[in-house]
Structure 1
Amino acid sequence: MRILVIGSGAREHALLVALAADPAVTELHAAPGNPGMVQATCHDTAVTDPAAVTTLARRLEVDLVVIGPEVPLVAGVGDALRAAGFPVFGPSAEAARIEGSKAFAKDVMATAGVRTARAEVVDSPADLDEALDRFGPTWVVKDDGLAAGKGVVVTPDRAAAHAHALACLDDGHPVLLESFLDGPEVSLFCLVDGETVVPLLPAQDHKRVGEGDRGPNTGGMGAYTPLPWLPEGVVEQIVSEVCEPVAREMVARGCGFSGLLYAGLAITSSGPEVVEFNCRFGDPETQAVLALLESPLGQVLHAVATGRLAELPPLVWREGAAVTVVLAAENYPGSPRRGDVIEGAEQPGVFHAGTARDVDGRLVSAGGRVLSVVGTGSDLAAARAEAYRILDGIELGGGHFRRDIGLAAEESRISIPG
């Protein structure tokens, strides 16, 4: 099986590593890829251009296209590939609205009877102050569009909430105000093929840039799986009360979902409530989740893409835990510094994201989240120790990372309200 993976981040690097372990996979390609993706042949292609990606897939004669990021999905790359006869892992542009428009996602959930935060869309600065008065004392303000995980401000400071909302509106984007959900968050990835839903392992992301969950939101500074604090049966509850109803509702609307549905949830005192949906694998959770998957990933994704998910045997997982820690460039998440030389990134467990080669062929930083490091072990403590052991062998001038990824769970400091 020849597979083309669309994307250039650590998520796509992790997908390639897992796909390379599938004995049915004979050839791997990536577009545009990055210098760390030695498992694949990389192609410099405009991945948000449906015609360009389709031309590449034809030239390579691939058997499957796996679309990693949300932007090509929302741009309709999957639609163009399917129209050309290629199996695609990733939803149509219409179905990708579950991430591309938070207002659309709220409407789907309301119709499907899925519990989520109370929300209100504001599309005019003139209505902003009155709307903010209906929320608080903790405000949740979201850009109603794609924001790579960074378009959300959660704050007890009304002025900060107002400023973020106004900035979104000034950019021409409506904003979504939401009630604050008090409870630990869970990321649950589900393979979805129409009305068939198969969950992967639950994970928890760390969005804030600083230790102790301080500082601004980022695209994600680390993640771990599984979740020792999550009560037995909660994953099944999320699937039956959240993911399956949403999948059925999207089929009823004529935009059935095919690919990876990411449910971000808060586990509140009254049960799981949806924070957001994404239409693709999340980053950095994917790196940890795939590290524990034993089932052949290429065959699994191909089954989803060809409408055969229901025929697959149950997924098989390794025992133990996995932890992802992100090494970020200086000044991330503001204006990250680029061009700093990286040493030690050739170790196993290192996934490239914001990397490039300079004119001398040296590996250098080329983005905000530069590398993801994954450690595995018999339990969370062992996996954390392994991730930080690898990180301590990497050098990046001005680079920074959190030392507390998964620590609260390891020390049993996470609890569900009520």
Structure 2
Amino acid sequence: MDILVVGGGGREHAIIWSLSKSTKAGKIYCAPGNGGIAQLAECVPIGVFEFDRLTAFAKEKEVGLVVIGPDDPLAAGIVDAFEAKGIPVFGPRRNAAEIEGSKTFMKDLLHKYNIPTAAYQKFSDYESALSYLREQELPIVIKADGLAAGKGVTVAYSRDEAEQALLDIMVTKVFGDAGSQVVIEEFLAGQEMSILAFVDGETVRPMAAAQDHKPIFDGDKGPNTGGMGTYSPLPHINDSIIQEAVETIIIPTAKAMVAEGRPFSGVLFAGLMISPDGKPKTIEFNARFGDPETQVVLPRLRTDLLDIFLAVVEGRLADIDIQWSDEAAVCVVLASGGYPGSYPKGVPITGLTDSGEELIFHAGTARDEHGNWITNGGRVLGVVGMGANIAEARSAAYKSAEGITFAGKQNRNDIAAKALV
């Protein structure tokens, strides 16, 4: 079966890497792809929002399955576009993807169905939001309603920081229309956890739990990014807590979406906070594989990923037994200098080989006219280490990461450190 994967980052590279191991997979295409993905798939120069061109290409090549990676085209209805042409596609429809596309929709849904989350208020008027903000205790969390590449959330520890974040979102419009509404919610303290789950209506099959590191600098300092590294499993979080999160948050949310006439099909990604008393609460939901969570979750998957995708698309996820490896995985993201702000492109990369022996997922790379690797994005590479435990996997990841250099390279040095305490 030939496959088309839509997207061009580290997440899509990891998905394609996993799909390429399936004996049922034929030719894999990726639109638009990147330099690293080109080693495993034929990259097609079609943008993720060019729905007519994408559907025409899928028809022309007679692909048996389309897999959607990024959040933006999901929110814009890319799955609906493929379904309208009768093309099998993995991912949620537009009305279900709104669980990520609108934070106000997500918060209202959780509130309506009594699913654990932080207290919040939503605003579309700046003055009203500012007045409310000035009455709240610190720290406080301020979120742009729409999609902002993982950067639309500010955890403010001072009044000035909080008011500046609100101004940036609602007045300066640094995130464009994503800031037309804002959610102001209570700060939740504790351990963060990510649980991705394959979902087919009310059927939920959780993946191995992971933990992301959003801030750019060590010690969770600095502005939020799309993610600077991840690890899986989470030895410092009890399995009973993970199970409670699935039973009290993810399954009820899937059922709530069905009840709302928005049945979810694809990957539902819960960003959770585990409070000091061990109770999970919802921070956010994403409507697709996480990036870079996917880079540590899929290497631990034993079951054929293509089989799972087809089961979800065909409405028979309940019949699939999904197995996971006991191995640990740690991903360290290497980012361009200046990220998550402005950054240069075209910077030569040294130490990056084509051997395939190391598990390295390309997020923002390209080849120059001589075939040499250069940077082409904010997050450049996701370097993954595997091992019998987190310590071994972490050591392997950093050893590989140290061998890759480019001017301005930055990475966190404390990925997975919390799991070693």
**Matched residue, 1:36:** 36
Q: Which residue type is aligned with residue 353 of structure 1?
A: A
Counterpart in 1 of 2:394? 384
Residue 362 of structure 1, CA deviation: 2.2
From 349, 363, 373, the counterpart of 1:342: 349
CA distance in 1, matches of 2:135, 2:122: 12
Aligned to 2:108: 107
For 1:162 and 1:123, the matched residues in 2 are separated by 15
CA distance in 2, matches of 1:123, 1:68: 30
How does 1:89-104 map onto structure 2 within 5 Å?
89-104=90-105
The alignment status of 1:253 with 2:260, answered yes or no, reads: yes
> For the residues of structure 1 that align with 2:390 and 2:237, how far apart are their CA atoms?
14
Counterpart Cα distance in 2 of 1:221 and 1:25: 31
How far apart in 1 are the matches of 2:192 and 2:334?
A: 22
- 1:415 aligns to what? none
Aligned identity (percent) is: 45
How far residue 301 of structure 1 moved from its aligned partner, in angstroms, is: 1.0
Q: Which residue number corresponds to residue 320 of structure 2?
A: 312
Matched with 2:237 is 230
Aligned mates of 1:244, 1:319 — CA distance in 2: 24
- Deviation, structure 1 residue 165: 1.1
Q: Distance in 2 between matches of 1:318 and 1:93?
A: 33
Q: Which residue of 1 aligns with 2:146?
A: 145
List per-residue Cα deviations over 1:32-68 (Å, max 9, x = no partner).
0011111111101121122121111111211111100
CA distance in 2, matches of 1:296, 1:77: 25
After superposition, residues 166-177 of structure 1 pair within 5 angstroms as 166-170=167-171, 171=173, 172=177, 173=179, 174-177=181-184
Of 336-345 and 377-386, more deviation after overlay is shown by 336-345
Aligned: 1:368 with 2:355: no
Q: 1:64 aligned to 2:44? A: no
Equivalent residues of 1:128, 1:162 under 8 A apart: no
- Aligned partner of 1:193 in structure 2 is 200
Matched, 1:299 2:300: no
Partners of 1:133 and 1:255 in 2: CA distance:
36
TM-score (norm 2): 0.95
SS of the aligned residue for 1:317 comes to coil
Aligned pairs for 1:206-285 (under 5 A) are 206-268=213-275, 269=277, 271-285=279-293
The RMSD of aligned alpha carbons is 1.1
Contact 2:295–2:384 (Cα < 8 Å) also in 1: yes
Counterpart code for 1:5: V
Q: Indicate conservation of the 8 Å contact 2:212/2:293, yes or no.
A: yes
Question: Using the alignment, how far apart are the partners of 2:111 and 2:278 within structure 1?
Answer: 18
1:234-283 Cα distance to aligned partner (Å, 9 max, x none):
22211111111111111111110000000001001261100000000001
Range 73-82 or range 44-53, more displaced: 44-53
Structure 1 counterpart SS, 2:34? coil
- 3-state DSSP of counterpart to 1:212: helix
SS of residue paired to 1:396: coil
Per-residue deviation, residues 95-150 of structure 1 (Å, max 9, x unmatched) = 00000000000111112210101111121221132210342210100110001111
CA contact (8 A) 1:150 1:219 kept: yes
Partner of 2:335: 328
Q: For 2:267 and 2:137, locate their aligned partners in 1 and report how far apart those are by CA, in whole Å.
A: 33
- Unmatched segments (≥5 aa) in structure 2: none
TM-score (norm 1): 0.96
Distance 2:290 2:140 in 1: 24
2:297 maps to what in 1?
289
* Residue identity in the other structure for 1:21: K
AA paired with 1:273?
A: K
How far apart in 2 are the matches of 1:112 and 1:49?
Answer: 36
Distance (whole Å) between structure 2 residues aligned to residue 242 and residue 135 of structure 1: 26
Partner in structure 2 of residue 17 of structure 1: 17
CA contact (8 A) 1:49 1:77 kept: no
SS at 1:94 equivalent: helix
Distance 1:270 1:371, change over 3 A: closer
Where does the alignment leave 5 or more consecutive residues of structure 1 unmatched?
A: 413-418
CA deviation digits over 1:274-307, x for unaligned, max 9?
Answer: 0000000001111001111111011111111111
Contact 2:134–2:159 (CA under 8 A) maintained in structure 1: no
Q: Secondary structure at the match of 2:100?
A: helix
* Residue 357 of structure 1: how far off its partner (Å): 2.1
Aligned partners of 2:279 and 2:415: how far apart in 1?
Answer: 25
Residue among 338, 351, 355 paired with 2:365: 355
Q: How far has the Cα of 1:358 moved from its partner?
A: 2.4
One-letter code of the match for 1:135? Q
For 1:179, the aligned partner's letter is E
The residue type equivalent to 1:258 in the other structure is S
Q: How many residues align?
A: 410
